[in-house]
């Protein structure tokens, strides 16, 4: 009994560590300077969702073996969003509504980015998904650079074993400053 509890706690700790690493990457200034992502609450949230998608996509490759870890990763994100909203002064009555909106956004991004990466022309499809979901405007010249970054990240993360992912021994790709 205690063995399962300890394993569950270790898995949860791993999920929080992975989440921390993806948030740190999402906060890299290059996204907001060179890639023109809005340096706003929404822009930062969307960059977390981009990286959450990339990690979930990689972990999904291992199927049922990572199902619990993927769920705990989402729980870590919800807990972080709950904490952030409280720090911003959102009251108890509004937290659920706001977290629900964030959940809808997350599942929408998961579907849009996943479909784009399965498209025949994934660069074009992902550029459009990024333009629509991250930039939220028609004129987003850096959307293709973010799409290329996401494709590079997907390829780089695919090269890591599950053990490397769980031990946080993975890296995201370097930024293409020409983006």
Task: For 57-98, write each residue's pLDDT tens digit.
Answer: 999 999 999 999 999 999 998 888 777 666 767 666 666 777
Number of domains in the chain: 1
Asked, for residue 178, whether it belongs to a domain, the answer is no
Asked, for residue 173, whether it belongs to a domain, the answer is no
pLDDT at 96: 72
What count of Cα atoms within 13 Å lies in the side-chain half-sphere of residue 72? 20
pLDDT at 2: 46
Asked, for residue 132, whether it belongs to a domain, the answer is yes
* Percent of the chain surpassing pLDDT 90: 71
Asked, for residue 179, whether it belongs to a domain, the answer is no
Asked, for residue 172, whether it belongs to a domain, the answer is no
Q: What b/e sequence results for 7-38 when a residue is b if at least 16 CB atoms lie within 10 Å of its CB, and e otherwise?
A: eeeebbebbbebbebbbebbeeeebbebbbbb
Quote the CA–CA distance of 83 and 76 in Å, as a whole number.
11
Enter the pTM of the model. Answer: 0.88
Q: What is the mean pLDDT of the chain?
A: 89
Structural domain boundaries, residue 142: 2-166
| CA 23 vs CA 28, 62, 73, 125, 178: distances in Å | 9, 22, 12, 25, 23
Q: Is the pLDDT of residue 179 over 90?
A: no
- Please report which confidence band the pLDDT of residue 41 belongs to, taking 50, 70 and 90 as the band edges: confident
Q: Under a CB-based contact definition with an 8 Å cutoff, are residues 173 and 160 in contact?
A: no
Asked, for residue 176, whether it belongs to a domain, the answer is no
Asked, for residue 126, whether it belongs to a domain, the answer is yes
Asked, for residue 32, whether it belongs to a domain, the answer is yes
* Percent of the chain surpassing pLDDT 70: 88
Higher-pLDDT residue of 171 and 2 is 171
């Amino acid at each position: 009994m205690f063995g399962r509890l300890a394993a569950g706690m270790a898995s949860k700790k791993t999920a929080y560590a992975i989440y921390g690493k993806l948030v740190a990457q999402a906060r890299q200034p290059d996204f907001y300077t060179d890639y023109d992502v809005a340096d706003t609450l929404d822009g930062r949230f969307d960059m977390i969702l981009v990286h959450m998608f990339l990690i979930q996509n990689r972990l999904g490759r291992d199927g049922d073996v990572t199902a619990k870890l993927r769920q705990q990763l989402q729980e870590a994100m919800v807990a972080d969003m709950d904490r952030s909203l409280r720090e911003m002064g959102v009251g108890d009555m509004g937290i659920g509504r706001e977290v629900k909106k964030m959940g809808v956004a997350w599942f929408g991004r998961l579907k849009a980015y996943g479909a784009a990466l399965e498209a025949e022309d994934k660069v074009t499809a992902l550029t459009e998904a990024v333009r629509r979901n991250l930039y939220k405007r028609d004129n987003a010249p850096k959307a293709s650079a973010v799409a290329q970054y996401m494709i590079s990240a997907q390829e780089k993360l695919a090269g890591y074993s599950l053990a490397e992912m769980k031990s946080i021994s993975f890296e995201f790709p370097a930024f293409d400053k020409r983006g």
